[in-house]
A and B are shown apart, each in its own frame.
Chain A
Amino acid sequence: MSRTFVGWPAFPQAAAVATRDAQLRANVARATGTIRAKRAKLVAERPDWEELRDSAAALKDDVLTHLDTYLLQVEEKVTAAGGTVHWARDAAEANRIVTDLVRATGEREIVKVKSMLTEEIGLDNALAAAGIDARETDLAAAIVQLGDDLPSHVVVPALHRNRAEIRDIFVREMGRHGRPAPEGLSDDPPQLAEAARLHMREKFLKAKVAVSGANFLVAETGTAVVVESEGNGRMCLTLADTLITLVGLEKVVPTWRDLEVFLQLLARNATGERMAPYTTTWTGTTPGDGPQTFHLVLVDNGRTRALADEVGRQALRCIRCGACMNICPVYERTGGQSYGSVYPGPIGAILNPLLKGLDDPQTASLPYASSLCGACNDVCPVRIRFTDVLLELRHQVAEGDAKVKHPGEKAALRAVGAVMEHPAAWNAAIRAAGKAGPLIPKKKLPKPLSGWTDSRIVPGIPKESFRAWWERTDGGTE
């Protein structure tokens, strides 16, 4: 059973630990700095970048507005092309469907292409509980799995690890799960990639069942799309007899032609490439080529909850490029694991509360994991207005039905409201504050007010209020 984010502390507590880890901060800053530079160069190559973003945002909004129609279209087309479509309301149901499908094949070891959705629903652990070993084949996902670690980025899940740490994980763990790391393995990246190639090749050649996600799912044709770099995706999508693909409801695009928009945006924005090395598209099954059994699992797991949020539903446009985390000053300092989810960074700060609700302290802390600088708005390929959603979610935490809120803050605001409505009470309060000012600690207020000073300094309170000064000096004329 590998580690999960279950029971993860709220963002401020997790970030307090992460920001003290100098190695982590150095690893994350180096990686995000490198991707930002590559992305900026490639985006500048497109004079029509803003027009591509306009189209992508509008296409995704169209999908969300007519999602029921498009999902039925997907089901019809995939079924007609020889696939089987399953629907899962939540993580448990999706895991049960996949476990049953794998069990029916009798296989005990399967291969996986990196999929955020399967990480979100905890599929690897669910399969492990049924005695099925699901091996991650993407290099970064394998580093995380072999190291019993947790992902910290949607595109580069092991971004928080440097080459020396990766070498140690390979040397220690590869032999326990198959072909050991070569003798005398160094921390040179090409050597590490070669070790992964040899370790995985053995698994690809014998795997009968593969599990994947999909970047896009075309309603018009029932075509699934996987974009990847290493070729592990092609191995899984091609060599297995049975392919099980899990897709979140929001991954649909209306027509085949619409891929021209998303394929031009995704790699450029994610990794600073014109196209990722490999894009595989398939529709159902093809006699004589690739898996002859294809299952598509459509997963809700909170997406319809997000869809019902008028402001927040735009988070479902996300195509998981990771640009928002690469540009985020908060992410760069805390790393991804502080967000307590496979979706970290700005998208995690909005998507997790929208999928799961705000009733627990961890998700309710996420909308505050932002300086509201808005850099994420500017790099988002589908024009998600992160800052609008962050503010809306903060509003829901403070004023809405969420069970987690700051009771002290609410009580204090009510009390201030009452005082401000009565001039006499207000003047008395201001005079009292002026007298008490020097006695109030600047950095650490006592409970229950300490929540305020955890992240703020109390401003100096002047001895004389503006109103008192105005009266004394006759409007500043004396």
Chain B
Amino acid sequence: MSSARDDILARVRAANATQRAEPGAVPRTYLRHAPGIDPADRAAVLALFAERLVEYGATVHRVRSADVAAVLAAALPEGSAVVPGGFPAPWLAEWTGAVIADTPPLPAGRLDTVDAVVTTCAAAIADSGTLVLDGGPGQGRRAATLLPDLHLCVVQADQVVSSIPEAIGALNPRRPLTWISGPSATADIEMIRVQGVHGPRRLTVVLVEG
């Protein structure tokens, strides 16, 4: 008896053998950059990024690097926060809550009791208001950024690109990637957008410029 694999491949080949038209080359005439702005205009890219995040219901703080610690101290709750390895310690110098390390990896039930998670990111996209996490330094494993109810992400201005096509080439698909565009949401009930279902219900982005 032939395997399902062989059968399916044979069916695919038989179906395609009778087709007359060979498709042409794939056109790539869509925009490489976000429409409506000059991608070289950094101020415009960052403004668009912040605007899109706010539209999604995220909280955005635009700060100078000297002020990160003060802003984080004000933006984080008093309780506890997961802090992944590689997250710059000076940024938490003024916060008085409990730092929870995820080493060794915490059980899901324990992560569920932590109030917040702070991370950096691998890339950010202005046009779609998206943060991309790849599990690199300062970002933690995926469960750690999922179970706490507040996710605070620190983004360096030079990480923000204008569009998805600009971002995708720099990402490594072998890593598990989480693309986050605003807090968890649903429109499953009468198409009314409700913010906050299973993922973090609050998303705070600290954008560090200069």
- In the assembled complex, A58 has its CB within 8 A of some CB on chain B: yes
Using C-beta atoms within 8 Å of the partner chain, give the interface range for chain B. 35 or more
Contact of B188 among A139, A190, A204, A260 (CB under 8 A): A139
- In the assembled complex, B40 has its CB within 8 A of some CB on chain A: no
Once the chains bind, are A283 and B174 in contact (CB under 8 Å)?
A: yes
- In the assembled complex, B127 has its CB within 8 A of some CB on chain A: yes
Once the chains bind, are B29 and A51 in contact (CB under 8 Å)?
A: yes
* In the complex, chain A residues 262-302 whose Cβ is within 8 Å of any chain B Cβ: 263-264, 271, 273-283, 286, 288-290, 298, 300
Contact of B112 among A201, A259, A278 (CB under 8 A): A201
* In the complex, chain B residues 77-134 whose Cβ is within 8 Å of any chain A Cβ: 105, 108-109, 112, 127-130
Minimum CB–CB distance for A186 against chain B, Å: 12
- In the assembled complex, B181 has its CB within 8 A of some CB on chain A: yes
Minimum CB–CB distance for A207 against chain B, Å: 9
How many angstroms from the CA of A163 to the CA of B196 in the assembled complex?
Answer: 17
Using CB atoms, name the residue of chain B closest to A156: B188
Using CB atoms, name the residue of chain A closest to B187: A271
Using CB atoms, name the residue of chain A closest to B191: A34
Once the chains bind, are A308 and B198 in contact (CB under 8 Å)?
A: no
- In the assembled complex, A256 has its CB within 8 A of some CB on chain B: yes
Once the chains bind, are B188 and A65 in contact (CB under 8 Å)?
A: no
* In the complex, chain A residues 194-243 whose Cβ is within 8 Å of any chain B Cβ: 196-197, 200-201, 204-205, 218, 221, 223, 229-232, 234-235, 237-239
Using CB atoms, name the residue of chain A closest to B26: A58
Which A residues touch B5, using CB under 8 A? 75, 87
Using CB atoms, name the residue of chain B closest to A223: B173
Max chain A Cβ within 10 angstroms of own Cβ: one of B30, B31, B135, B169:
B30
Main secondary structure of the interface of B (DSSP, over half): loop
Once the chains bind, are B164 and A264 in contact (CB under 8 Å)?
A: yes
Q: From A10-18, A41-49, A421-429, A441-449, give the one contacting chain B.
A: A41-49
Using C-beta atoms within 8 Å of the partner chain, give the interface range for chain A. 35 or more
Once the chains bind, are A89 and B7 in contact (CB under 8 Å)?
A: yes
Main secondary structure of the interface of A (DSSP, over half): helix
Once the chains bind, are B25 and A308 in contact (CB under 8 Å)?
A: no
Once the chains bind, are B174 and A67 in contact (CB under 8 Å)?
A: no
- In the assembled complex, A143 has its CB within 8 A of some CB on chain B: yes
* In the complex, chain A residues 61-98 whose Cβ is within 8 Å of any chain B Cβ: 61-62, 64-65, 67-68, 71-72, 75, 81, 86-89, 93
- In the assembled complex, B146 has its CB within 8 A of some CB on chain A: yes
Which A residues touch B164, using CB under 8 A? 260, 263-264
- In the assembled complex, A397 has its CB within 8 A of some CB on chain B: no
- In the assembled complex, B156 has its CB within 8 A of some CB on chain A: no
Once the chains bind, are A68 and B185 in contact (CB under 8 Å)?
A: no
Q: From B11-19, B59-67, B68-76, give the one contacting chain A.
A: B11-19
Once the chains bind, are A193 and B186 in contact (CB under 8 Å)?
A: yes
Once the chains bind, are B191 and A35 in contact (CB under 8 Å)?
A: yes
Q: What are the interface flags for B180-205 relative to A under an 8 Å C-beta threshold, 1 for contact and 0 otherwise? A: 11111111111110101111100000
Which B residues touch A35, using CB under 8 A? 191
Which B residues touch A389, using CB under 8 A? none
Which B residues touch A46, using CB under 8 A? 35
Minimum CB–CB distance for A140 against chain B, Å: 4
Once the chains bind, are B189 and A166 in contact (CB under 8 Å)?
A: yes
- In the assembled complex, A192 has its CB within 8 A of some CB on chain B: yes
Minimum CB–CB distance for B111 against chain A, Å: 9
Using CB atoms, name the residue of chain B closest to A285: B176
How many angstroms from the CA of A278 to the CA of B176 in the assembled complex?
Answer: 13
Q: What are the interface flags for B32-75 relative to A under an 8 Å C-beta threshold, 1 for contact and 0 otherwise? A: 00010000000000000000100010000000000000000000
Cβ contacts A to B, 5 pairs, < 8 Å: A47-B31, A89-B8, A139-B188, A190-B194, A263-B179
Apart from the given pairs A89-B7, A310-B20, 14 other A-B contacts in the complex at a CB distance below 8 Å:
A64-B16, A68-B9, A75-B5, A193-B194, A232-B197, A232-B198, A235-B198, A263-B179, A274-B181, A275-B129, A280-B142, A280-B177, A281-B177, A289-B176
